[in-house]
């Protein structure tokens, strides 16, 4: 079975500071991993994804994440937070099967607050 754990339901950083949002997964088969961002009363926007290949993945808005199989982690980082980064962030896991992408399993989410 697959699952996703996001450590910290709320993270607060100062503008310009490093952003680190933690995600650990459990999967019995090689996972596909995703980070999504959600602004209030809106749907989800894909930030980045890991499927195969390079373990350091760069996404939109300056975010990146590194797949670490030994740690079963896929933490999201951004070197310098901006006020516009304040939102809810979801880590999700899926895996490839014979038909392609399976359904997404989401973590509980982390609300990021950015202070001036």
Partner 1 sequence: GAVVSQHPSRVICKSGTSVKIECRSLDFQATTMFWYRQFPKQSLMLMATSNEGSKATYEQGVEKDKFLINHASLTLSTLTVTSAHPEDSSFYICSAREGSQSEAFFGQGTRLTVV
The site that binds partner 1 (CB under 8 A) totals a number of residues, namely 19
Token pair for residue 12? 């607060």
Quick one: tokens of 56? 């350091």
Q: Looking at 29, 52, 99, 116, which residue binds partner 1 (CB under 8 A)? A: 99
Question: Which of 90, 93, 112, 114: binder of partner 1 (CB under 8 A)?
Answer: 90
* Rounded least distance, CB 89 to partner 1, Å: 11
Select 72 or 106, whichever has its Cβ closest to partner 1.
106
Q: Tell how strand 87-97 and strand 100-101 pair up.
A: antiparallel
Determine if 31 is a binding residue for partner 1 (CB under 8 A): no
């Amino acid at each position: 079975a697959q699952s996703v754990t996001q450590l910290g339901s709320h993270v607060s950083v100062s503008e310009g500071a490093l952003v680190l949002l933690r995600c650990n997964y459990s999967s019995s088969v090689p996972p596909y991993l995703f980070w999504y961002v959600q602004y209030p009363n809106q749907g989800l926007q894909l930030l980045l994804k890991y499927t195969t290949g390079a373990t350091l993945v760069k996404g939109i808005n300056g975010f990146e994440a590194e797949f670490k199989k030994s740690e079963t982690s896929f933490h999201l980082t951004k070197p310098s937070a901006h006020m516009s980064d304040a939102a809810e962030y979801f880590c999700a896991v899926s895996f490839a099967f014979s038909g392609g992408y399976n359904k997404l399993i989401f973590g509980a989410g982390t609300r990021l607050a950015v202070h001036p």
